[in-house]
Amino acid sequence: MVLGCRQPSPIDPLKRSRVDGLNREAFVNRYRDPALCLAKSTEALAYISDSLPAYADGRLRARNNMAFAYYQMSDAAHAAAMLDSIDSEIAVDAPTMQNGDIEWVISSLIEARMLQRNCQIADSYRLLYDIGQSGVLRHNRDNLLYNYALTEYYITMLTLNFHYRDGKQSDVRELIGEVEEQRASLKVDYAQDMALNYALAYGLQTAGECDRALDYCDRNFDILALGDDFFCPFQYANTLQMTALAMKSMPGMMEPDSILAMYDEARRLFFDYGDPYQMLGGVTSTARYALLIGDTAKAHEVLAEWHEKGKVWTPFSAPKMELGLFDVLIRSRFAKSPDDNRRWYEHRSELQDYITRNEKEDFVLQNSLSMATRRNTWMTWFAVVLGALLLALVVLVALLLRNAARLKKEKAQMEEANRRDVERIANVETCLSVMRHDISPFIGYLRNPDLPDEVRDEVLEQLLRTFDNLKNWTHLSIPSGLAFSGEEFALNEVTDEVSRQVIRPKPGVTLHFEPNSLKVWADRQLLVILLRNLVNNALQHTTEGTVTVSATPVEGQGMVDIEVADTGCGLTAEQCDSLFRADREVAEGAEHGFGLILCRYIIKRHDDNTRRGCKIWVTSQPGAGTTMHCRIATKQTS
């Protein structure tokens, strides 16, 4: 039963309390006085119709009370009509009900009881199975209605399995155990408590545990002895008859006449109560036991009384009880004529065939639902196992991916380390090659004893610059070497410093620093080394003309391009490509050394610390001069 989400209309609490009071009075009298239960329920429905039409829960409660009362009075037609109206009520007003799902369970249980009386036990079992599958009774609610519904479910299950199936199923003992375990936590009124005690006693007696059945009978007698407010003729007759049944199954516990007296007293109480179904049960039980102990006269007496009463009652269907009656009629030789006997045999045969067909249908349904349950269980376990395997697979894949990522990272780190190692080796090789290339001419000059002093001084100065570049290059090329110290400063401060440190231009060569007011964000010391090397290199390779140092901003990029242009011999494209490559072997006769390699490392150090795209490159044509370009940031990256 699934409720919707429609909001209920406001209900007047005073009017609601009146309806609840009427329904409560009807509910309390459902066993003791079904006629009064009907009257109070009818009054509640009339009041709801006139004054509280929005109170769907109250209307449903009243209808269920009436359906149970009709069931107690063996009025199957009116009970069925009331159950149909309950179904219609739930279909229309379920979204506004608080207890619609519980009331649906209760009405279904009443219908299941009626089907059992008619020996339609397969249909009854289907209803009980649907209730169990709905899960309504597994959602524990601490109120009387929920506890009542749960006890009614247990009573109906016990009646089905121990009365109509005669306790033949293999798992019925588990049902008794479940009910006994749950009953301590169930909060019900005295009538419901006695009904559950009776159902347990019947089940235990059918299972052969008569002493335990008598314990539950004693509990009912204790409740009935509390006074008129707790006494109910129906409950007393039921308990008395069950006590006699248990005593009969325990030879020597009581005299046969005393047991017969208990059966007869229960029969009289059922006659006073007025329910034809219970009367028939009382007559059949009393007459059967009378025949068992050889008291045929008593059997004829109770059968005759039933025969007279039966003439004024509306016929009702109770095939199993009627089958017992015809057994007793035939065995007691109560027939007044051969036609009566023949007619009873025919009725008995028809009833037996009807009951057998229903038992077969029930057996097929039980097997079908049992297979479905097992299949669902296996499917559930399969889904659980499959889910666990998939989860394990996902975890395994995640671990593998994680491990693969770790291995990939380690591989990248190893490749980077190898690259650095290769670069360091190349740097060492380049260092040795450039050192041999740059120092060899100076050593040749210095070995000449006739070298003029002014030339010797210039050679020594060049040699010192070479070693200074070598020192700076070493600091920059080793990871733990020269630290980078970035700051913002005016570029002309660096160019002024460079103009004081560069070598003297050759005769016929002019060095020109174009004025500028640009600011850069850089390492001041490294930028001085960078420009000094570029200017010195340009002056060294320019025999005549001009070396010009200029700077221009890069539009929209926050960068400055510094250019050192000379009018020297120029470079080929291949020479331009290998000019800053520390991993290339210095070609024989090349005109560059540590200075330009050092420049490359200085620019890289700036780019590593600013991430702005700092770079160095060259443009040149043979015979047309060379321009060195350096791009530096104007501010620190955020």
Other CB atoms within 10 Å distance of the CB of residue 360? 11
Q: Which residue has the tokens 């009436």?
A: 66
Q: Look at residue 384 and tell me whether its pLDDT is greater than 90.
A: no
pLDDT grade, residue 120 (50/70/90)? Answer: very high
pLDDT grade, residue 8 (50/70/90)? Answer: low
Which residues on adjacent β-strands are paired with residue 521? 488
Pairing of β 509-513 and β 545-554: parallel
Sign of torsion over alpha carbons 461, 463, 468, 472: positive
CB 469 within 8 A of CB 509: no
Q: Which residues contact 291 (CB under 8 A, 6 or more apart)?
A: 299, 328, 331, 332
**Cα angle vertex 247, ends 245, 253, to 5°?**
170
The crossing angle, in degrees rounded to 10, of helices 144-159 and 121-134 is 140
Average pLDDT over residues 562-570: 91
Dump the DSSP string for 73-87.
TT-HHHHHHHHHHHH
pLDDT digits (tens, 9 = 90+) for 507-517: 888 999 998 88
Q: Look at residue 296 and tell me whether its pLDDT is greater than 90.
A: yes
Pairing of β 519-523 and β 545-554: unpaired
Which strand (E) or helix (H) includes residue 548? strand 545-554
Percent pLDDT > 70 in the chain is 86
Determine phi and psi for 565, rounding to 5 degrees.
Answer: -110, 135
Would you state the pLDDT for residue 475?
A: 60
Would you state the pLDDT for residue 386?
A: 87
Q: Which residue has the higher pLDDT, 503 or 87?
A: 87
pLDDT grade, residue 627 (50/70/90)? Answer: very high
Sign of torsion over alpha carbons 59, 65, 71, 73: negative
Average pLDDT over residues 97-121: 93
Which strand (E) or helix (H) includes residue 306? helix 296-309
Would you state the pLDDT for residue 67?
A: 97
pLDDT grade, residue 588 (50/70/90)? Answer: very low
Strands in 268-357 per DSSP E: none
Other CB atoms within 10 Å distance of the CB of residue 296? 15
Which amino acid, 487?
E
Average pLDDT over residues 529-542: 88
Q: Look at residue 5 and tell me whether its pLDDT is greater than 60.
A: no
Distance of alpha carbon 176 from alpha carbon 470, whole angstroms: 98
Q: Which residue has the higher pLDDT, 56 or 7?
A: 56
The secondary structure of residue 624, as a DSSP letter, is: S
**Among 143-147, 372-376, 586-590, the range of highest mean pLDDT:** 143-147
First-to-final CA distance of the chain: 63
Q: Tokens representing 184? A: 């301590």
Q: Look at residue 61 and tell me whether its pLDDT is greater than 70.
A: yes
Q: Look at residue 427 and tell me whether its pLDDT is greater than 90.
A: no
Poorest-pLDDT segment among 71-80, 126-135, 379-388: 379-388
Q: Look at residue 474 and tell me whether its pLDDT is greater than 90.
A: no
Distance of alpha carbon 61 from alpha carbon 28, whole angstroms: 13
pLDDT digits (tens, 9 = 90+) for 262-288: 999 999 999 999 899 999 999 999 999
The dihedral region occupied by 633, where left means phi > 0, alpha psi between -120 and 50, and beta the remainder, is: beta
Q: Look at residue 201 and tell me whether its pLDDT is greater than 70.
A: yes
Residue 318: strand, helix, or coil: coil
Q: Look at residue 371 and tell me whether its pLDDT is greater than 50.
A: yes
Q: Look at residue 15 and tell me whether its pLDDT is greater than 80.
A: yes
Would you state the pLDDT for residue 591?
A: 42
Would you state the pLDDT for residue 590?
A: 41
Average pLDDT over residues 60-88: 95
Average pLDDT over residues 471-487: 65
Q: Which residue has the higher pLDDT, 317 or 62?
A: 62
pTM for the model stands at 0.62
Distance of alpha carbon 231 from alpha carbon 183, whole angstroms: 21
Average pLDDT over residues 331-348: 91
Determine phi and psi for 636, rounding to 5 degrees.
Answer: -75, 140
Would you state the pLDDT for residue 473?
A: 56
The dihedral region occupied by 71, where left means phi > 0, alpha psi between -120 and 50, and beta the remainder, is: alpha
Would you state the pLDDT for residue 505?
A: 82
Distance of alpha carbon 564 from alpha carbon 472, whole angstroms: 21
